[in-house]
Amino acid sequence: MTTRAGFIALIGEPNAGKSTLTNRMVGAKVSIVTHKVQTTRARIRGVAMEGDSQLIFVDTPGLFKPRRRLDRAMVAAAWGGAADADIIVLLIEAHRGVTEGVERIIDGLAELPHGRKVALAINKIDRVEAPVLLALSKDLNDRYAFANTFMISAERGYGVADLRKWLAEEVPESPWLYPEDQIADLPMRMIAAEMTREKLTLRLHQELPYQLTVETEHWQEREDGSARIDQIIYVSRDGHKGIVLGHKGETIKAIGQAARAEIEEFLGRKIHLFLQVKVRENWQDEAERYSEMGLDFKDGN
């Protein structure tokens, strides 16, 4: 039996559907999915099997114009994921077409090592008519020599099987790089922290979600098969702490319940989750916070 394995980087603008596609490919929720942009910070890898091929998806942060140190580290992580991958899939939102951001990404692709295989996936195809799709596909292929073009809906699953089959044929011959039953290479501590951060992102609005991070401080396995997880939510200001806690602690309680339920479902066992909120004014300038998120602090310079 000839086995294949390879890393596939999903790149695109924020909200293009990279996390949704990762989860659809893997068949489980390994990447944070919200309606907010810029929610994926670390290069989360999901592992999918397709026949004799193992596909390792690198779900990069969305590519956008960076302003802050954290932004710069996220963009560096995204391009780093693309440069290291065997295949790159550029996701474009069908209804948004060729934006300034997409043009910047295509310019960036041209600077990658020669011979890098790049596929185009036009996502959210259910939002536009066929003639618009065809015109968009032609426009993009005129701008860059894509190895293949796919019309998909990551949310509904349209066209995803064709993309996965093509990827399985294109990744290099190689022994499998992960156990067959493994779906992500992130430490469980980080996945649990991401799940809590997703609940915070969904519950809180405006700028606050980008001013906070979640870390799993302790993970204690118990004799009855359950686990106690202690997490810290770091915020930048005192006022933010009050927002996260909510009136009489109602907000943090609801977030904790939602996060615990999701972690339990993911692990298939009982979890005791304890959340604490701490103010760290300059957490976005602390190297330790970046390493917890899987980002390189130096890339933010």
Binding-site positions read: 12-19, 59-63, 123-126
Tokens describing residue 169: 């044929």
Cβ-in-10-Å burial (0-12, 13-18, 19+) of 9 comes to: buried
Report the C-alpha gap between 82 and 38 in whole angstroms. Answer: 17
Residue 146 dihedral angles phi and psi, to the nearest 5°:
-70, 145
- How far apart, in Å, are the Cα atoms of 134 and each of 131, 139, 192, 224? 5, 9, 41, 57
Residue 18 dihedral angles phi and psi, to the nearest 5°:
-65, -45
Cβ burial 159-176 (10 Å sphere, 16+ → b, else e) = bbeebbebbbebbeeeeb
Annotated binding-site positions for GTP: 12-19, 59-63, 123-126
4: enclosing H helix or E strand? strand 4-12
Instruction: Find where tokens 């290069």 sit.
Output: 43
214: enclosing H helix or E strand? strand 212-221
Report the C-alpha gap between 79 and 84 in whole angstroms. Answer: 9
Cβ-contact 108, 79 below 8 angstroms = yes
